[in-house]
Amino acid sequence: MKKPNIQVCPSILSADFGRLAEEAGRIEKAGADAIHVDIMDGHFVPNLTLGPRALAAINRATDLFLDVHIMIYNPFDYIEELVKAGADRITFHFEATEDVEDTLAFIRKCGKKAGLAFRPETSFSMIPKYLTQCDLILLMTVSPGFGGQKFMPEVLEKVRLTREACDLRRIRQGGIVAEGGISLPPFDIQVDGGINLETGKECVKAGANVLVSGNYLYGLPDLAAGVKSLKSL
Ligand code: DX5
Ligand code: ZN
């Protein structure tokens, strides 16, 4: 099978919050596929970040796809507001609600991409049932809450198993997984936390095709060169 295109989503959490509009423009100019916006409530994770008003400001500053990762309890209650603020994809945590299916369905009903995120310690066995209900699975490679943490290599096995489960499901659904070099849009598997060239490569090898990166990209002298090198993994 042809190598999937790798999408790179710089995390605006590592940017200068005093200049969010300029930072959004900088990410766009750097050739990124999306801006990853982390929204935290201080309960599901012990940190507070941006909210819908900041998201709307980012949206006014760029045409780029807004990839919104919400680390909040009762995610259903915030979907409408986030959609209004400009979210293109909303990814919430499996561990944050008992209404996973309704929340995924509601995001899709709003015409947006639905993503489901899993903490590093959540078992792979929870994932397969949702593969037909969402557009993206986010496998956290750090404990959610803060940028700049160390990548957890034990999550790689979950990435491999999730990709395998996606491929199997596609085969069963009518042989969509092609042999002989036909390329197809992959089901999106995103990794988030501690992603750099080295850990990103491991994740891509295991089956991830959407890379979030904060501290690594923002620590480089040239954001565009960093995006390009991650995209070429
Ligand atoms: C952590 C956030 C991440 C964070 C990643 O909870 O979900 O998106 O910004 O930052 P790095 O790449 O620095 O780990
Ligand atoms: Zn995130």
Domains of the chain: 7-220 (3.20.20.70)
pLDDT of residue 47: 96
Residue 21 has which token pair? 């509009």
Q: Is 116 in the pocket of ligand 1 (CB under 6 A)?
A: no
Q: What is the 27 CA–ligand 2 centroid distance (Å)?
A: 16
| Measured distance CA(13)–CA(40) in Å, rounded | 11
pLDDT of residue 167: 83
pTM: 0.94
pLDDT of residue 170: 63
pLDDT of residue 132: 85
Q: Which of 3, 18, 14, 4 has the alpha carbon at shortest distance from 213?
A: 14
Task: Name residues of the chain where pLDDT drops below 50.
Answer: 171-183
pLDDT of residue 145: 97
pLDDT of residue 172: 47
* CA 159, chain centre distance (Å): 13
**Active-site hit among 33, 38, 67, 188:** 38
> Do residues 60 and 21 touch, judged by C-beta distance below 8 A?
yes
Residue 79 has which token pair? 């979907």
Count CB atoms within 10 A of the CB of residue 76.
16
Count CB atoms within 10 A of the CB of residue 187.
22
Q: Is 86 in the pocket of ligand 1 (CB under 6 A)?
A: no
pLDDT of residue 166: 87
Q: Is 141 in the pocket of ligand 1 (CB under 6 A)?
A: no
